[in-house]
Chains A and B, each alone.
Chain A
Amino acid sequence: MSNFRIALRMARRELRGGIAGFRVFLGALALGVAAIAGIGTIASAISAGLDSDARTMLGGDVAVRLMHRAAGAEELAYLQKIGDVSRAVLFRAIARVPGTETSALVEFKAVDRAYPLYGAAELDPPAALRTALGLADGAYGAVCDESLLDRLGLKIGDVVAVGAARFRINATIPYEPDRLSGGRTINLGPRFMASDDALAATELIKPGSLTTYLYRLRLPPGAMVHGVVEDLRHAFPSAGWIVQDTTQDTPFVSRFVDRTILFLTVVGLTALLVGGVGVGNAVRHYLGTKTETIATLKCLGASASLIFMIYLAQIMVMAIAGTAIGLVIGGFAPAVLAPVIAREFALVIDVGIYPGPLAVAAAFGLLTALSFTLWPVARACEVPAARLFRDVLVAHRPPGRTYIAATGIAAAALAALAIYAAPDRKLAVWFVGGALAAMAAFRLTGLGAERAARLLPSFGSARLRLALANLHRPGAATAGVVMSLGLGVTVLVAVALIEANLGRQIAESLPRRAPAFYFLDIQPDQAAAFETAARSVPGVEEIRRTPMLRGRISAINGVPVEQANVAPRAQWVLDSDRGITWSAQPPPGTRIVAGRWWPADYRGEPLVSFDASTASGFGVGIGDTITVNILGRDITARIASLRRIEWGSLAMNFLMIFSPGMIEGAPQTELATVRATEAAEVPLERAVSARFTNVTPIRVREVLANIAETLEKIAGAVRVAAAVTVAAGVLVLAGAIAAGQRRRAYESVVLKVLGATRAKVLAVHAIEYGMLGLITAVAAAAFGTLAAWAVVTRIMRLEWAFLPGPAIATALVALVLTLAAGLAGTWLALGRKALPYLRNP
């Protein structure tokens, strides 16, 4: 019979002893695998939801997007030849309650009779969209988000004015099938939907207005979508339109989902890592109870390799079971969370079983189990058989090189899988490095704490002396608890600090540095009057104006963008139109990092000052060319300088600033930023809106509130994942405490025999676990702060502030948990009867 078969047979017999010794093992592994499987499955379910719903979300089989202008007659005729066409016009506007000064910024969407080509809008109260948008009693019909009614204090049936037109709000629109389409990265206000007929009546569409024209096409059955996209790009090469099919839609949604999933994955991997520590501890404890059996088998002639196989087989059977439990929990997570994801993130997810992420999670689970158990199993196999004859004077040999190599290979495979499976491999490499560093740091902290407890001078207090001795006696849980709970709490501290830093940026730093308002669509002939009106409002501190157009980058160094090799981080620039301006002088605060600004009287070939970061993503530098399509006309400019732009400052930043002479002639509007005191914001908005109905004020404070709301949702998801990590840590803690339960009970009995009261015994353990929790809390606060600092400054490139509140509050969790779990164990131990512990065997 082969050794392998003997090992399996022996393993099966050994497992008859029950799985009580594997509870923590199963729990820790299942939790880690469930986190990975759940996050992976949700990511797949969201992707599948985006894919299966893609036509509805895009609004057609193909979408053509134009900025500033509607499609010309020839272009429209071409589109109509291809299939059914539906047009939607999107812009931002102010909705006012007639007769009051109440107003709100809205995302206006004018739709034609064919809208929507796919899917259907849901209205409340239920009605046909056409009916709800129809003209009745001198007012156009409209539907809007419920939040607009709240903001304006209106109810269904009330009337609002947008521009020169009046609208009766006939319903709210809880579901708008193509809401995420249209190239907007962020919605600044609630949706306001009206009919195409009402658009002209608003009188808001002026030359150069920031208006998006969306043409959605429904192709006849059998038509090749890809062919149509190519035709449209080639038929009108200078149209400057962005043509998308369902495979390219909603890049910003995908990016948002990818980023969120990435953070969740990192947290999930940490949960698995913590689970791994628990697995290792549990295996060590289990094998500790098997010492006698292992020695017996050796006496009976089993080789070390056979014993290794016997115990590895048992542990891998348990690992498969733990992984399977985790897969079941993780696999069903999307079904449970689908309503929450739909409500909070407006994403329809496709609930189902996704074998891909489940297979990855299973591989993670088994590799984690292998990485954390090979070493303890190999060590246990080195138990000298002489142990059966006596415990003393028997040296424990370290495992051989083969086992060291095997452990190294398993750990390397785990790291490789973490990197391979991550959506962002560079970040995953950092994560693996950080995780190794954190584990090493916690190990050193634990060992350092044990050593410090040993070296501390003897205290007069017996309780303190006993508690300190417990921290360093042989088999102490100190190192294990510090590592496992410490890792979990580190993640929690890091998440809390990152969130607090982002919150601080949005609530404090940005409003202080950013302007109070952006005013869009100021017509050139209104500019002077606008400035006078704005300056007349007390509290207005600074007004900056600049001409603004929208244009789409169509070629890089003469290569069409579709064929250009662009780094993923710079791809967003090509996803949509970008704001552009021109200037003779460098705007105040410009930081040129390469090249030079053109002379003030420059009148030569078109030059452009370009964003340095995007330039590196495009692989271009000084002297290279960028072609921009503005209103259907391609303008090629040579890069004269590169600027470092701080997008996070929310100041007036332009990706591209052109030299004077080329684009002044194009229809354009002005963009103004106004700095004002908070008290001046409302009067300023009213003063401008009253005189310039076509000018759209964007209040930065409101935008930041919107961003904060989104951020809060993401943070909520990450917090849930972080809680799983802490749960894994608590499980490991409970396991470590349970492993020492017999010793604790025996100690309690002896102390009671010697006259100690229950309170005294409890006090000893309260000090012991208090110190253990404190060490863990301090270490986790330190490492969590370091991790948060790295993420905030290196990945998010934001200002860092150490905020002790969240760090301390979170780290205290470690202290409380350790103390609670430790004292619970002691309380149970105190209840044990003395006799069984004192009787000689």
Chain B
Amino acid sequence: MNHATIIDLDDVHLMLESAGGSVNILRGITLKVGAGDTVSVVGPSGSGKTSLLMVIAGLERQTSGRIAVAGADLARLDEDGLARLRRDAIGIVFQNFHLVPTMTALENVAIPLEFAGASGAFARAEECLDSVGLAHRLTHYPGQLSGGEQQRVALARAFAARPKLILADEPTGNLDGTTGQHVIDLLFALSASHGTTLLLVTHNPALAQRCRREVRLVDGRIANGAA
């Protein structure tokens, strides 16, 4: 395992405005994750797990504190800079897959490569789909795929640009047990083979235990596992 730090959060606070007033979502998160590590984030609903994922992905700006991802200080990046960071260094896997419905499986996987201007985007996308066992589904649209297949396409897409970090938010939340297990096996296998850091938000204790490290959030604070 490479011990360079890929995620570095220092006293991160996140406060969001809502119709009912300000809500403190994250309250002083300090967290370091080394390259190649696998970390699960667990905690009750509303504890701030998804918000933590969002600030790490640069999808939400922290209210205070410092965040560095893959060596980049997120506070120094503008919106487009953050988009480029996600394109080059971060892959995201969602609970609801979020494939583009008008694009085929192959095109969905090729998107981040195309955004990066990579040559041979489609050939690489095809390899990625092959690696998740969907070589025979290249020209299918999301609507023609099962839930498990859609999530496998999403995995292929997340790994396509060979990111340093994979952020997964309840990746099996919409899948049945067997299919979910298959997807998780794939996720860990791909992370291991690519040497990618994996940060996994989950409610599933068994799934959390597959990660090398577990971070428990309670009420916007790390209850244990910060080190």
Contact = CB atoms under 8 A, between A and B. Distances in A.
Interface of A: 1, 6, 9-10, 13-17, 292-293, 295-306, 384-386, 388-390, 392-393, 395
Interface string B94-120: 101011111100010001101111000
Contact of B107 (A13, A15, A392): A13
A300 B79 contact: no
A598 to B, nearest CB: 81
Contacts, number: 90
B18 A393 contact: yes
B175 interface: no
Contacts of A395: 17
B169 A6 contact: no
A299 B93 CA distance: 10
A303 B80 contact: yes
Contact of B94 (A298, A304, A388, A393): A388
Contact of B169 (A16, A17, A297, A389): A389
A6 B83 contact: no
A390 B103 CA distance: 24
A1 B114 contact: yes
A302 B83 contact: yes
B101 A17 contact: yes
Contacts of A292: 98
A-B interface, 8 closest residue pairs, ranked by CB to CB distance from nearest: A301-B87, A17-B102, A303-B80, A386-B59, A296-B98, A393-B16, A301-B86, A303-B83
A395 B169 CA distance: 21
A569 to B, nearest CB: 56
7 contacts: A9-B114, A14-B102, A14-B103, A295-B98, A385-B57, A385-B59, A393-B16
Contacts of A304: 79-80, 83
Nearest to A397: B79
Contact of A393 (B23, B111, B117, B169): B23
Contact of A299 (B16, B18, B59, B101): B59
B11 interface: no
Contacts of A296: 98-100
Given A302-B87, A389-B54, A390-B50, 8 more contacts: A15-B102, A295-B98, A298-B59, A301-B83, A301-B85, A303-B79, A304-B80, A389-B53
Chain A CB within 10 Å, residue with most, of B94, B96, B111: B111
Contacts of A301: 83-88, 112, 115-116, 161
A97 to B, nearest CB: 79
Given A298-B83, A299-B57, A304-B79, A13 B102 contact: yes
Contacts of A388: 94, 96, 98
Range for the number of chain B residues in contact with chain A: 35 or more
B54 A386 contact: yes
A600 to B, nearest CB: 86
Contacts of A16: 102-103
Contacts of A295: 98
Nearest to A2: B117
Interface in B39-91: 50, 53-54, 57, 59-60, 79-80, 83-88
A373 to B, nearest CB: 19
Contacts of A10: 111, 114
Contact of A6 (B86, B101, B102, B115): B115
Contacts of A385: 57, 59
B115 A300 contact: yes
Nearest to B161: A301
B102 A392 contact: no
B80 A13 contact: no
A336 B17 CA distance: 61
Contacts of B169: 389
B92 interface: yes
A299 B117 contact: no
B115 A302 contact: yes
